[in-house]
Amino acid sequence: MAVQAVPQINTHTTDLESLIGNTPLLHLRHITAHLPPNIGIYAKAEWTNPGGSVKDRAALNIIRTAEREGKLRRGMTLVDSTSGNTGIAYAMLGALRGIHVKLFVPANASPERLAILNAYGAELVLTDPLEGSDGAIRAVRELVAREPDRYFYGDQYNNPANWQAHYHSTGVEIWEQTSGSLTHFIAGLGTTGTFMGTSRRLKDFNPAVQVIAVQPDSPFHGLEGLKHMETAIQPGIYEPAIADRQLGISTDETYAMARRLAKEEGVLVGISAAAAVVGALQVAEALAAREAPGVIVTIFPDSAYKYLSHAPWR
């Protein structure tokens, strides 16, 4: 019997990777109702990426760059440390591309994230929860040092392809979505890729744009996905001088904001997103006190669906 060709479908179709990026910009209207009308806070809804987070951008660029440079070849295993979102992006893209993915994850990662990683078929190594993301980093480095030819180490904390993904996508999207009118960009510091790449691009467009980094206000915090830079292993891609300002955000303020965003704005976002809004609101209120206008843009790295078994919603 002759093999028949796949029939032509008269609809618009696409592939999974093309869905990464071009996320919508949300206007937060209710938590800013007390501010003058010439000050606005906007947020990129990064959970609309197919893997559910901003990390899809970096993971895709890390993989594409490694393949182009011959560092990730057929039969090799992609390894990295992750607290969840980058790992989910790796696992999704690995399943799509036929790449085996092995991830080192702190054992206290939420059950939702572990379930997603298992569903995609990633191999997981759970590390000491008391050592957090730094413990996972040390563990994956030990593995790669033992068998360097077997693994491609994505190394999201030190790989320039991480921040370059945001230089070429996130920063451009924000500039275009605000018609170049933004005055402030605010983002949290984890791997720092989102902040580094987006800030660089926005500064290229307009050096007057203020770029403000958000991090926990102490080494002992509940802001999952964010690093207290003074006491953590600093990512190699992190350049503190890029930031015009640093804001320390408390865990209590962040948890309260996460609940507010759900109940007042109808957006159920992750902890790092809520921390960014705490910082954005501080900047907005300072502008209002000076009677200055502002278009403030931040990042919602993901939704809360992968964290609902943890604080602040439990």
pLDDT tens digit sequence for 260-269: 999 999 999 9
* pLDDT tens-place string over residues 22-75: 999 999 999 999 999 999 999 999 999 999 999 999 999 999 999 999 999 999
Share of the chain above pLDDT 70, in %: 95
Q: What is the mean pLDDT of residues 273-290?
A: 98
Pick the range with the lowest mean pLDDT from 12-21, 144-153, 250-259.
12-21
Q: What is the pLDDT of residue 313?
A: 67
Query: CB–CB of 186/212 below 8 Å?
Result: yes
Give span(s): CATH 3.40.50.1100, the chain. Answer: 16-51+169-300, 55-156
What's the confidence (pLDDT) of residue 55? Answer: 97
**Exposure of 18 by Cβ count < 10 A (0-12 exposed, 13-18 middle, 19+ buried)?**
exposed
- What are the residue numbers of the active site? 55, 272
| pLDDT, mean of residues 153-176 | 97
Cβ pair 159, 237 in contact under 8 A: yes
Express as a percent the part of the chain with pLDDT over 90: 84
Give, in order, the Cα–Cα distances in Å from 63 to each of 18, 94, 120, 144, 154: 15, 9, 17, 17, 8
The CATH code belonging to domain 16-51+169-300 is 3.40.50.1100
- Which CATH number applies to 55-156: 3.40.50.1100, 3.30.70.360, 1.10.460.10, 3.40.190.10? 3.40.50.1100
Confidence (pLDDT) at 18 = 96
**Model confidence pTM above 0.75:** yes
